[in-house]
Amino acid sequence: MAFLVDYSTAKGLQDGDVPKIIRICIQEIGKRGLESEGIYRVSGRHAVVQALQHNIEKDEERFEFSQKDDVYAVSSLLKLYLRELPEPVFKFPLQERIQHTEDRADHISNNFMLLRSKIRRLPPVHQATLKALLEHLARVVTFSEKNKMDPKNLAIVFGGVIFGEDEMPKGGDLLSVQTWKFSVAHEQDSLMEDLIIHAHILYEEHPSHYSPPLPATPAGEPAPVYTYGSKSTKVASVPPSTPSGSATVPHPSPQDFTPRLPARPTSSIHPSLRANPQTPTRGHSDGPPPPLPMRPGRQSIDESPPPSPSVASTIYETDDSPSPDRESLNTVPPTVQRPMSPLRPVPDISETPQSLPHPHPDESLPPSV
């Protein structure tokens, strides 16, 4: 038995198409088996079911059911085909089904939003097969007074067929396993029953919680043509764009729904306003910045600094001639000058030793012998 996805690829099925064996079984039971008591619960003869399976596998394209084929054998063939699929039609683990049963009231209130999202994630052939089966089983339920197959009975039959076989508890015999499956299906797992009962909600084309479509154009008025936009918000023209670096905001058009930002203040330090001459750090002119204010008791930065006290004192003591630097010494604050001890004039070292005056010999000393 091949996967449904591989089967659809090999047969070239389109979206919405189901495998032929499922389609003809549903059609045959819809014609002759809706009122048959215990349909899908009563099994057909094993030999007849095996013969039908052999014939359809031999020539699927030309196979058709005949009136002499037992309807219970047809229903058993459908269950056998679904059970032998390598991948279930709608894989749903048991723990998630139990969780669905515990939150059943919430799922009913939101129209089974979670179930619809899971179904939409299935491959197209799985979606089409599941939809065909659920709609067929919902139709079988409408004849439950004659066929005695209510949603709960059909859920017990098709639960393991649609969702796949669950892991059985280890260390149990066959009787305990069957008892465990029956108790789970009756008490803790209501997913298959919900799928059958609410099939019309799961496959509703326009769910009620969606927003309604826009009203039609009044009669006599031409329908406007929009090059862009959506059905909810339509804009007829694009608003003019604001040039970069400009702080002015154009007046929004009546058809523009884009929110506008407020204009930046003139004292803003945003980088887009650096080209504006009116900035908080610059004045109204582009000239050089004004000089910094002077501290009291200090000279202007343009005046030459006074000479150091040591140099000034040396000039004062060694040079007796008047010089212009002597006047600048008077401008030095009194606190800068320090009392200096009188010094002798420094001789010029550039003179030769012969030019230096020789001391006269002291006549009081006795002559050398």
Strand segments, DSSP code E, in 169-218 are none
pLDDT in tens, 9-64: 888 888 889 999 999 999 999 999 999 999 999 999 999 999 999 999 899 889 99
Cα gap 145→123, rounded to integer Å: 36
Cα gap 7→1, rounded to integer Å: 9
Q: What is the pLDDT of residue 262?
A: 78
Residues in the chain: 369
Q: What is the pLDDT of residue 131?
A: 95
Q: What is the pLDDT of residue 335?
A: 53
User: Which is more confidently placed, 223 or 192?
Assistant: 192
Residue 324 exposed, middle or buried by CB count within 10 Å (0-12, 13-18, 19+)? exposed
Q: What is the pLDDT of residue 349?
A: 54
Q: Cβ contacts of residue 293 below 8 Å, gap of 6+?
A: none
pLDDT in tens, 264-295: 777 777 676 665 555 455 444 455 666 666 66
pLDDT band at 94 (very low <50, low <70, confident <90, very high): confident
Strand segments, DSSP code E, in 183-322 are none
pLDDT band at 316 (very low <50, low <70, confident <90, very high): very low
Q: Helix, strand, or coil here: 21? A: helix
Q: Are 25 and 75 in contact (CB under 8 A)?
A: yes
Residue 211 predicted with pLDDT over 50: no
Q: Are 18 and 125 in contact (CB under 8 A)?
A: yes
Q: What is the pLDDT of residue 317?
A: 46
Q: What is the pLDDT of residue 265?
A: 75
Q: What is the pLDDT of residue 318?
A: 46
Q: Are 195 and 202 in contact (CB under 8 A)?
A: yes
Cα gap 149→161, rounded to integer Å: 17
Q: What is the pLDDT of residue 122?
A: 93
Distances (CA, A) of 229 to 50, 73, 85, 216, 237: 59, 57, 46, 17, 10
Q: Are 54 and 100 in contact (CB under 8 A)?
A: no
Name the phi and psi angles at 93, rounded to 5.
Answer: -60, 155
Q: What is the pLDDT of residue 311?
A: 45
Please tell me the least confidently modeled range out of 57-71, 108-122, 331-345. 331-345
pLDDT in tens, 219-254: 666 766 655 555 555 555 555 555 555 555 555 555
Cα gap 369→366, rounded to integer Å: 9
Residue 368 predicted with pLDDT over 60: no
Q: Cβ contacts of residue 211 below 8 Å, gap of 6+?
A: 232
How many CB atoms within 10 Å of residue 37? 10
Cα-Cα end-to-end distance for the chain: 150
How many CB atoms within 10 Å of residue 90? 20
